[in-house]
Structure 1
Amino acid sequence: MGYVRVSSADQNLTRQIEQLQQIGVDILYQEKASGADRHRPILQQLLQDLQEGDRIWVTDLTRITRSTAELFELVAYIQKKGANLQSIKDTWLDVTSENPYSQFLLTVMGGVNQLERDLIRMRQREGIEIAKQKGKYVGRVEKYHEKHPNLEQALALYAQCE
């Protein structure tokens, strides 16, 4: 079984899907959600479906999580179920054994992934701050507000149902 993830709905899963299909993965769990979100429903479903002897394939570890702590939790859960996690890119990964080198590399790569996520957030905050200083940042557009063009119609329809 394989898990593919992109961070937003407008991104494409095709490259990851093709890579996993090339190595014979036929059951795919596909998700469009941030790796920072710990409660991704498709990942939770995969973990729930996981059985002893199963192997979860990812194209690289950042697809399953960018959090070091969550990576360790996931690996522990997968090991407890008697399953395995494998990555096409991270060929050193072997969570089936007590290999100290594998555990060390898992720690290092988990830290690198966490650092990458933290740097993304930092650059995003810096960009927003610069845009605010230049008067170009307006924030998210409010979906519904007092001057929304359909507000009166919605309130009238609501009043009819009472």
Structure 2
Amino acid sequence: MIYGYARVSTKEQNLDTQIEQLTRFGVDEIISEKISGVAKQRPQLEELLERLKAGDTLVVIRMDRLGRSTKQLIDLVENFEERDVNLVILDMNIDTRTPTGKFFLTIMAGFSELERTVLKEKQKNGIAIAKEKGRYLGRTKKYHDKHAGMTHAIELYKAGKHTIKEISEITNVSKSALYRKLDQLKKEQAV
């Protein structure tokens, strides 16, 4: 089965051009939706992805119709490969049913991996420089000293009537955050 997927970002935009190109390609069924590409959920696409079986082909007119990022698209392609599902991207003449199409996507995956590695290295270097300058404090803590939930959790702990699990459920402070805070308080009292 050959499925076509068409998407536009707003209700005012028109799907006609995409639908015409997909029809011309010869898809058996077209799934379409009007939803932003940055939306966390795209119900029509998600339903289609679940429905795809080995040997099926998904056709889109442009890469950005499927994924918000290169990484997301590469993950999708890897998933397709595992499931023996094909992908055709019309504007780039990519067709994973052919050796050339598979090769091109492999190259894209390599660039994506390189990009992730370079970004991680930049982040690591930036953190090291910030630490040297005394400006890096780590991720902002959700439960800080003035957070009402943490204060209440410490009071309940000191009262000794509840387990850590119960305190966590009562205050919505995670057990790990509470344990860290209790450990910090013990260290401060030892000084």
- Alignment partner of 1:89: what SS? helix
How many angstroms does 1:68 deviate by?
A: 1.5
Q: Take 1:99 and 1:21, find their aligned partners in 2: how far apart are those partners?
A: 24
Q: Of Structure 1 and Structure 2, which has the larger fraction of its residues in helix?
A: 2
- Map of 1:28 onto structure 2: 30
Paired residue for 1:74?
76
Q: State the shift of 1:90 in Å.
A: 1.2
Say whether the 8 Å CA contact 1:75–1:85 is kept in structure 2. yes
Letter of the aligned partner of 1:102 in structure 2?
A: L
Q: 1:56 aligns with which of 55, 58, 63?
A: 58
1:52 touches 1:82 (CA, 8 Å); kept in 2?
yes
Aligned residue identity for 1:104: I
Q: Against the structure 1 CA distance between its residues 95 and 107, is the aligned structure 2 distance closer, same or farther, given a 3 Å change threshold?
A: farther
Q: Is the 8 A contact 1:79 1:96 kept in 2?
A: no
Shift of residue 99 of structure 1?
5.0
Q: CA deviation at 1:94?
A: 2.9
Q: What is the letter of the counterpart of residue 19 of structure 1?
A: Q
TM-score (norm 2): 0.51
Distance 2:98 2:5 in 1: 18
Higher relative contact order (CA 8 A, sep 6+): 1
Highest Rg: 1 or 2? 2
- Residues 143-158 of structure 1: matches in 2 within 5 Å? none
Query: Structure 1 residues 86 and 100 mapped into 2: Cα distance closer, same or farther (>3 Å)?
Result: closer
Question: Which one-letter code corresponds to 1:2 in the other structure?
Answer: G
1:103 lines up with 2:141 in the alignment: no
**Corresponding residue of 2:162:** none
Distance 1:34 1:50, change over 3 A: same
Q: How many residues in Structure 1 have an aligned counterpart in Structure 2? A: 110
CA separation of 1:22/1:81 partners in 2, compared to 1, >3 Å: closer, same or farther? same
Question: How many percent identity over aligned positions?
Answer: 36
Unaligned segments of structure 2, at least 5 residues: 113-191
Moved runs in structure 1, 4+ residues, more than 6 A? none
